[in-house]
Structure formats: C-alpha cells, structure tokens
Structure 1
C-alpha cells in the first residue's frame, strides 16, 4: 500500500498510468469507438489522401481508409503484441535467472554467458535478423522480439536471486528442510516480483516501439493490418503533402511508449525501498 500511495503521489507516473489506462480502454472497445471499423480494411480510392475534416478527423490514407479508425484499431494490435512478447520473454528469462542465481557452478556460468551474448547484440538488429530468418509477418516479429528480450528478465531475476539467497529467511527455510524449488518459487520469486514488474512495464513500451520499427522496415505486420509502424512506412512516399498520414500513427506510438516509460519509472521508484527512504 505504501508503494501504491507513492505511485499515486507521483504526478508524472500517474500521468503515464492514465495514458496506459486510456489506451487499454480504447483497445477493449476499439470496434465500437472507431468511426468506420468495417471500412478500415477496404480501399476507397475516391476519398484517398483527404486532409483532416469533420468527416475524417485524422484524414484518410493512400487507399482512402479513415486514419482515426485505423489508429484506434491499431491500439489493440500494439497492446496484444506487447503483452504477448513480454509474457513470452518472462516465461524464458525468469526461470533462467532463478536457476543461474541460486547456485554457483558451470550451469550458472553457461546460462549467464549465453545471456551476455544476447545482450551484446542490439535488440533491434537481432530481432530484424530473426524476423527475416523466420518469415516476415506479425507472428515472426513477436517470436523475434520475445527471443531477444528474455535476457533482460534473466539478468534482473539473476541479480535479485543472488541478493536474496543469502537472506536470513532463506537460511531459515533451508534449515527446516524446505526444498530449493519451494524456496525459489514461493519465497524468492515473490520478493523479486517488483523488479520483474518494473522491467515488464518498461518492456511494454520498448516492445511497442521495436514492433513499430519492424513494421516500418517491412518485417512486422503486413497490409491491411492497422499497424502504426506500417502506416508510417506507407506514408513516406506521400510526404510532405499528406502530412497527416504519418503524423497521427506516429503520435500514437509516441504517447503509448511515453506512458509505459513514465509508469515504469514510477513503479521503480515506488518499489525501491532505498528511494522510498530518500523521499521521506
């Protein structure tokens, strides 16, 4: 409750939370909020590249589709990709971090050296290479992003496990005969959960940005998917005349990534006891 109160008092983090909450509501009710949900995937050549107006507040794209409807529908796609990628990365990275952090020896060294190899390569370059190897598409982009983001969770959980394994409560549990699996799953992991949550929140924004870049480069979502990065890519040949075409999808990317980053920073500050003490 103390961490929650600190988070709510942090106006910047609360603003980020409001952005994320607004995006979540938009994603859930997207088919009902979008002005033209049924026409957002169909071509209407006679109304192509219309500027913002009362009929089309965000204008239309090169195929005459309502950009506002596609931005709203793209919110659901962006959040689904972010959640799926982060959950998959957690499923890989958290067990590796627990196993490597609990025991010394060759297994720990091997797991951490593999993690370091993945961390040494920029995620975007690695995701781009993996996406090209698998097959261009949103599914391939999600797999590539998950396979490149798990080391961040592994490193976070590894550091927390190393810190907690020498705690008095862990020694007490081992003294009464608790198994390592029980100690890790029921006691170490819950204590490491705040750090994992912070990493997951920041990872959501980073994943949305990276997925948009992959869509821009042609490795992510394919037409006619209402992907924000794909929309910015399609708009390049119509600049600067059709300025509204890339502007509104780009602003959607900016706001949602900003919201997750602000919320993640607030969660980090609220969850860290040292930062809490420094604020008192």
Structure 2
C-alpha cells in the first residue's frame, strides 16, 4: 500500500487530482465557516441581485442577490455527499451481483448478467431521467436514480475480476483444503478485486457529480433554494450574456471536481493495478 501511494504521489497529474479532491473535501467539511455569507443558502437579497464580481462579492451575486461564492462553497458539501451516497449504494448492489455471477456457471448467473447488460445498454443519463420522472423531483430522487443506474458498472467489473481469479492457483488450493466458497469470495477474491473496484468508484464519483449536476440543470435533481451547482447554471440561462459570472463559477466548480476525480482515478489505476504496471514495462 505504501509503495502504491508513493507511485501515486510521484505522478504530478495524479498528485494534482488528489490535491483537488482533498481541497474539495476540506471545503465541504468546513463549508459554513468558509462561506462569507452562509445564510445565502436559503435567503434572498433582491436589492443586490446580479452584481458583478467585486471585493464584497468575489464571484458576484445571483438573480436573488445571493453571494455566488458562498453558494459554490456550500454546494461542495452537497455534491460530495450525493456522489459518495450514490457510489456506496451502487457498490452495495453491484459487488454481490458480480461476485455471485462470476463464481457460478448456472442460469441465475446468466440472468443476472443479462439484466446487467440491459442496464448498461441504456445511457445512464436517459435512464436516470426516466426514473426521476417517475418519482417526485428532488435530490433524493436523483440519488436513487443514479444508484439504480450505476450499479451495473460495478457488477461488470467485479464479474470480470471474479472470473479471472476463480481459476487462480491460490483459489484451487483453498478449495482443496475445504474452504467454503463464501470464505474464498469474501476473504480472498474480493480483496484481489478491490483495486479495480476502487478505480471504478473514484471515477464514478466524478461521473456522478457531473450527472447529478445535469439532472439538477434539467429540473429532476435538487430543487430551489438548494445551493446546487447544476441548478445554479440552469437558473442563470435567462440572464446571459449580461450576468456571465452567474453560471461561470458553478460550472468551473463542476469542471474542477470532476477533473480531480478522473485524474485521481487514473493515478490509482496505474499505482494499484499490477497487471497494468507489468503491461507498461
């Protein structure tokens, strides 16, 4: 683990991604203290609406006079909470499906993977929009929709790793001494599949943040007055191009955080996957 961390930190691109993610976590943890006007998450100040960036409001104000810098900072906590919840829920569904389907060769395994393929064949955003329309719009709806559309990626990843590992010599040795399949899967196969799962989870965090922002932009995700980045970009459309700062800073926040998770995911893949390291030698 220490060697993998060293390789990760020595790569400047991966280190940049890690720095962005850690900075976002810090901002999310201390958002109420860092925001200049934390009350602007829910209060309006119409007398100072659509003010350009200044010393008082570095990112300007929105259509309701709220400080955009404060709302971007407060939105970081929401974005990370949604992404983490969605990825954890998707892992809770996808990992058991992938383990069971990859270990067995029967009709149940075939059915599970065909269902997974059906979910993978439909674009995630389209499926999330369809599920979101069936339920009451809100951030909880977006989280459920994203979790139900992202678990197949974990299922397919774990399925491939389980199929590869089940024919390994250490698995045959464990089976030969009478180890139960559940013990082999949970204590030996799953830990060896974790590098691939970790990479998928890290990249999935960034993709989930982007998709949640799109859902907020389309009116299926977070609802006003939540300090959601995608919702802020949607509210700014009717004030362009005059109030250019209104969508610019929430959009940059989305860009930087998604970029950070993608760079970190690539670095984790290079550092933790020994097969990839061998292929590059």
TM above 0.5: yes
What pairs with 1:31-50 in structure 2 (closer than 5 Å)? 31-50=32-51
Aligned equivalents of 1:275 and 1:164: distance in 2? 16
Q: Which residue of 2 aligns with 1:221?
A: 222
Paired position in structure 1 for 2:99: 98
Matches within 5 A, 1:61-80: 61-80=62-81
Aligned to 1:81: 82
Contact 2:40 2:71 in 1 (8 A): no
CA RMSD of aligned residues (A): 0.8
Between the aligned partners of 2:65 and 2:211, the Cα distance in structure 1 is 27
1:278 positional shift: 5.0
Give yes or no for the alignment of 1:239 onto 2:240.
yes
Could you tell me which runs of 5 or more consecutive residues in structure 2 were left unpaired when the two chains were aligned.
none
Structure 1: state its 5+ residue gaps. Answer: none
What TM-score comes out, normalization by structure 1 length?
0.99
Cα deviation code 1:49-106 (max 9, x no counterpart): 0000000000000000000000000000000000000000000000000000001010
How far 1:38 sits from its partner (Å)?
Answer: 1.5
| Cα distance in 2, alignment partners of residues 100 and 278 from structure 1 | 28
Aligned to 1:267: 268
Distance in 2 between residues matched to 1:27 and 1:68, nearest whole Å: 13
Structure 1 position 111 matched with structure 2 position 112: yes
What's 2:132 paired with? 131
1:16 aligns with 2:20: no
Query: Mapping of 1:196-215 within 5 angstroms?
Result: 196-215=197-216
What TM-score comes out, normalization by structure 2 length?
A: 0.98
- Equivalenced residue count is 280
Structure 1 Cα separation of the partners of residues 119 and 3 of structure 2: 36
State how far apart, in whole Å, the 2-side matches of 1:274 and 1:185 are: 21
